Amino acid sequence: MRAAVLALSTLAALAASGAAQAAPSLSITAVYEARLLIKVADLRTDQVVSPDGYKAGARLTTLGALGVIKPSSILAQADGGAADGAPAPVIYLQTEKTKRRTTRYAAGGGPRSVADPLTQLLRAALQPGGGSPCVGAVPVYDGRQRYDLTLSPAGAGVLTGPPAHFGLTRPLACRLGFHPISGFSGGPPKKNPFVRADPFATFAFEPRANVWVMTDVAVPTLVGTGHIALTSVHIDGVKPVFGKPAPAAPPPRRPRRRA
């Protein structure tokens, strides 16, 4: 289950972040609880988006046996701008215990370019209402490991528990596939025998802000299905026209010469 929770922190998607601008166009704070028979982790994600930049952050805190008696935390933050109408990463920071990782990304890069896990979650969240967060294969590089995370459409989802009362609509399920490529010590990780099948993530649409919110990740295991479930969400602002170029300024008018 720890691997599954860390995979979600990779997806989250995933330390609170400050505003990208003094008056951000969109701010999303989501809190999750991971349970497998008992509570095993807390996760908080923060995303702040302005028309020309963003910050995304996450704090994953493991508890009990998953935290090896003592709770432990993983902090992550991504900062970036915009390219081709999508978030484009500039820097990604990740801290676990005393280890800190800093990754800088080349300028540019559109919606399908390699990015850190937080940026990829934000790209999925900002899909238009007529689209879907199940965006297919997304290339991820977190400063050490390179892999593809695939979000495949898996039909309609279900809103239960707290998310059913958050004003969210149109739940969709995505099958999560993990495809390691490089950077894994000891070679690509083997399939975990404790996990019976691929996890499923449920997203739902927030119509006022025009953004998708991840509400649950279900992980089938040998002892039951673990859930990483949304317990609260707070959204301010509206979705910005992200990455749209400013209109060209008209050339200055030259004074007319007198005859």
Global pTM value = 0.80
Please report, rounded to a whole number, the percentage of residues in the chain having pLDDT higher than 70.
Answer: 79
Q: What is the mean pLDDT of residues 194-214?
A: 92
35: which residues sit within 8 A by CB, 6+ positions away?
226, 227, 229
Beta-sheet pairing, 53-62 with 99-104: unpaired
Q: Quick check: 78 and 114 in contact, CB under 8 A?
A: no
Q: What is the mean pLDDT of residues 148-156?
A: 94
Question: How far is residue 1's CA from residue 36's CA, in Å, rounded to a whole number?
Answer: 8
Question: How far is residue 208's CA from residue 9's CA, in Å, rounded to a whole number?
Answer: 26
Predicted confidence at residue 7, as pLDDT, reads: 47
C-alpha count within 13 angstroms, C-beta hemisphere, residue 174: 28
Rounded to the nearest angstrom, the gap between the alpha carbon of residue 119 and the centroid of all alpha carbons in its chain is 6
Residue 25 banded pLDDT, cuts 50, 70, 90: confident
Q: Quick check: 203 and 170 in contact, CB under 8 A?
A: no
- Which among 80, 53, 34, 44 has a CA at the least distance from the CA of 234? 44
Residue 163: what are its φ and ψ, rounded to 5°? -60, -25
Who wins on pLDDT, 255 or 89?
89
Q: Quick check: 15 and 44 in contact, CB under 8 A?
A: yes
Predicted confidence at residue 237, as pLDDT, reads: 84
- Which among 105, 114, 174 has a CA at the least distance from the CA of 140? 114
SS3 225: strand
Q: What is the mean pLDDT of residues 122-136?
A: 89
